[in-house]
Amino acid sequence: MKTTQTQRLFDRIESIRLANVTKKYDDRFAVDDLNLEIKGGELLILIGQSGSGKTTTLRMINRLIELDEGHITINGQDIMGFDPVKLRRNIGYVIQNIGLFPHMDIHDNIGLVPKLEGWSEGEISGRVEHLLDFVALPHETFINRYPRQLSGGQQQRVGLARALAMDPPLLLMDEPFGALDPLLRRQLQDEFVRIKHEIGRTIVFVTHDIDEAFKLGDRIGIMDGGKLVQVGTPEELILAPENELVASIVDADKKFKHMDTLRVKDMLSHLDDKYIFESGMGVDQALDRMAVNNVEIGIVCDGSGLAGQVEMADLLRSRDEGKTLEDIAESSIVFSPHDSVAMALGELKDRGRSVAIVMENERPFGLFFSDEVLLKLI
């Protein structure tokens, strides 16, 4: 049990808003009238060329740099109202070449802030051991080593463990894997994908590597000359780049150069029984089944075949109205296995849908999820 509890400014992040945020050095804008909302629980990437204002933006959130104009709020509270030290202890910060203290062993490096917060020795050791194991450094082996006895990748993991020491609801990461060689970088990215879900935190992550951005990010914000040019999901950026710069960063043409030759049948998802619903089924029963099977869409079939589709969100709106799926099913977008993937993605996008049914011989044969297909193409 902890004897001391760090004062939490926020238990979880609902949202972070940057409104008209500006930072100037002399008369040059490092960040220029930036507006951005970061949603609680998401991993938002900031990407852009060197000097585009990524680091400055990140450091204004934890007040390592004070903004000149505009406002940053966390859960609706202006960060200027917080004590900066307390604010930073509620925000994990990971940087490239992490800067571990060379004369402290790993235990003391990770345990530094808990110690400053007055935790007992037992509490600190327990936390450090847990965190080392979490970042895949067995604590028996590593806890008493010094930074120079660790490889670059291992030091970077210690950096992450240190940032997590106070279990912060928000993590800021500035090119954390940037200094690593490509193989190691990929390995740490893979591990990070794994622990991202376990951490369950809101993360703002700076990189200049678009592959890293696609691999890790829920949404990606593209910066240029201190401005946020566009922010969106990988899919949105690729399909609707705001300008040439965005198109070149996400490399829209290259990503899709194979698309003309790909057919829907190459990219469809198997039509598992869990997606099939009888048209006479009641809404509540259907919701139950969706919850159990972890699906958000149902293909509604009646005696003669496909009757349409229902989405969980629609079902939720029609609860307790005594309706059956037949009453609320919407007509589906239907493709043939031989349609081109490019056409299929374009049509889904135009109609604001994310899934289509692939029919063969007038029977449902598979599903075509645009998100999934795009991820496979990236």
Rounded CA separation 295/59 (Å): 39
Q: What is the SS3 string spanning the chain?
A: CCCCCCCCCCCCCCEEEEEEEEEEECCEEEEEEEEEEEECCCEEEEEECCCCCHHHHHHHHCCCCCCCEEEEEECCEEHHHCCHHHHHHCEEEEECCCCCCCCCCHHHHHHHHHHHCCCCHHHHHHHHHHHHHHCCCCHHHHCCCCHHHCCHHHHHHHHHHHHCCCCCCEEEEECCCCCCCHHHHHHHHHHHHHHHHHHCCEEEEEECCHHHHHHHCCEEEEEECCEEEEEECHHHHHHCCCCHHHHHHHCHHHHCCCCCCCEHHHHCEECCHHHEEECCCEHHHHHHHHHHHCCCEEEEEECCEEEEEEEHHHHHHCCCCCCEHHHHCECCCEECCCCEHHHHHHHHHHCCCCEEEEEECCEEEEEEEHHHHHHHHC
The site map against ligand ADP for 24-63 (x = CB under 6 A) is -x----x-----------------x-xxxxxxx-------
* Length of the chain in terms of residues written: 378
308 binds, among Mg ion, ligand ADP, none (CB under 5 to 8 A by kind): none
CB-nearer residue toward Mg ion: 210 or 268? 210
CB-nearer residue toward Mg ion: 94 or 306? 94
**Which part of the chain contacts Mg ion (CB under 5 A), choosing from 54-62, 136-144, 246-254, 359-367?**
54-62
**Which part of the chain contacts Mg ion (CB under 5 A), choosing from 24-32, 55-63, 192-200, 295-303?**
55-63
**Binds Mg ion (CB under 5 A): choice among 52, 55, 90, 189:** 55
CB-nearer residue toward ligand ADP: 38 or 228? 228
**Which part of the chain contacts Mg ion (CB under 5 A), choosing from 47-55, 131-139, 237-245, 257-265?**
47-55
232 binds, among ligand ADP, Mg ion, none (CB under 5 to 8 A by kind): none
CB-nearer residue toward Mg ion: 21 or 300? 21
Determine the residue with CB nearest Mg ion.
Answer: 55
CB-nearer residue toward ligand ADP: 95 or 356? 95
CB-nearer residue toward ligand ADP: 10 or 29? 29
53 binds, among ligand ADP, Mg ion, none (CB under 5 to 8 A by kind): ligand ADP
Q: Does 207 bind ligand ADP (CB under 6 A)?
A: no
Rounded CA separation 207/253 (Å): 21
Min separation Cβ 87 and ligand ADP, Å: 19
Specify the residue for token string 């450090």: 128
Min separation Cβ 147 and Mg ion, Å: 22
CB-nearer residue toward ligand ADP: 226 or 298? 226
Min separation Cβ 52 and Mg ion, Å: 8
CB-nearer residue toward ligand ADP: 147 or 226? 226
The site map against Mg ion for 182-211 (x = CB under 5 A) is ------------------------------
Which spans of this chain sit near ligand ADP (rule: CB under 6 A)? 25, 30, 48, 50-56
Which spans of this chain sit near Mg ion (rule: CB under 5 A)? 55
